[in-house]
Amino acid sequence: MATVIDGKNVAASVIQTVKSATAALEKSSGVTTGLAVIIVGDDPASHAYVGSKGRMAKECGFKSVQHTLPAETRQEELAALVATLNADPSIHGILVQLPLPKPLASEPIIQSILPEKDVDGLSVVNAGKLATGDLKTGLVSCTPAGAMVFVRRTHGEDLSGLNAVVIGRSNLFGKPMAQLLLNANATVTMAHSRTKNLAEVCRNADILVAAVGRPEMVKADWVKPGATVIDVGINRVPAPDRGEGKTRLVGDVAFAEVSAVASTITPVPGGVGPMTIAMLMANTVIAAHRAAGQTPPQF
């Protein structure tokens, strides 16, 4: 039976490091780490996310600022707010909660955030730094950064000689995850919906990362015995056993059957999910250290 990674536990240890680093930075240079979150409109799910990010930022000892804008905010008003935050030295991280309500265009807004304050790791500059192996000055997208913490804690810093397969090639997760694995010396295959013999490709993986958004697609016979399986999928499926109209969360991996084959596996929920906000806090304290000319903590 596989070892199940407790994402909440690992996230809590990341947050502990963030708190210590935040306090040490304030003590050594008088700098309070600052995170600004912008939310536009009244989508309940977005407000719930932003609320939890704000609470976590305060818990970490950050200066936490939230800008709540009406749904009818114009593109130039949003751009002006980002420009103001870019120019504010007390703000080290800027986060725009996505999706933005129509007709606002998110891409120009995301790209207008200074790369050194782009704690979501979504700017083309940070994507380019990751692609060229520059982890010293870039910021990495939070979910792949969190998944990589699991990989490092399981296999160590150097993945030489290990085969990694990432299913999914999104800019948000698949591509940065593949780059992180490559930078750690793994031999990486990127698989996706057009890959032939996908199950066969997956069976070659010592580290298998699934991020496609298809409920329980990865079956036990796709997995090499003893592999590490990281499940990034979050899918709602009907759960009639819980009552009419009820649903439950499942990943992209058929957890019960794959657990019998893999050596290490992440659950859904409770695996990669909790790491996303933790790594957002990590990126913010890293950005604050760099802005103060200090050596940032390692995660």
Per DSSP, the residues of 228-251 read: EEEE---EEEE-GGG-TT-EEEE-
Q: Among residues 120, 206, 231, 252, which one is catalytic?
A: 120
Look-up: residue for tokens 């792949």?
144
219 is catalytic: no
Contacts of 61 (CB under 8 A, 6+ apart): 19, 22, 23, 26, 32, 33
* Joined tokens for residue 27: 């003590």
Sign of CA dihedral 133, 139, 144, 148: positive
β-strand 247-250 against 235-238: which pairing, if any? antiparallel
Distance, in Å, from the CA atom of 203 to the CA atom of 40, rounded to the nearest integer, reads 44
246 is catalytic: no
Annotated binding site: 168-170, 234
16 is catalytic: no
Q: Among residues 43, 63, 88, 97, which one is catalytic?
A: 97
Distance, in Å, from the CA atom of 12 to the CA atom of 151, rounded to the nearest integer, reads 17
Q: Among residues 8, 19, 27, 53, which one is catalytic?
A: 53
- DSSP, collapsed to helix, strand or coil, labels residue 19 as helix
* Joined tokens for residue 219: 């079956």
Residue 46, classified by CB atoms within 10 Å of its CB into exposed (0-12), middle (13-18) or buried (19+), is middle
* Joined tokens for residue 39: 């939310």
Annotated binding site for NADP(+): 168-170, 234
Residues 166/178, Cβ–Cβ less than 8 Å: yes
Sign of CA dihedral 48, 49, 55, 59: positive
Per DSSP, the residues of 54-71 read: HHHHHHTT-EEEEEEE-T
What residues are annotated to the active site? 53, 97, 120
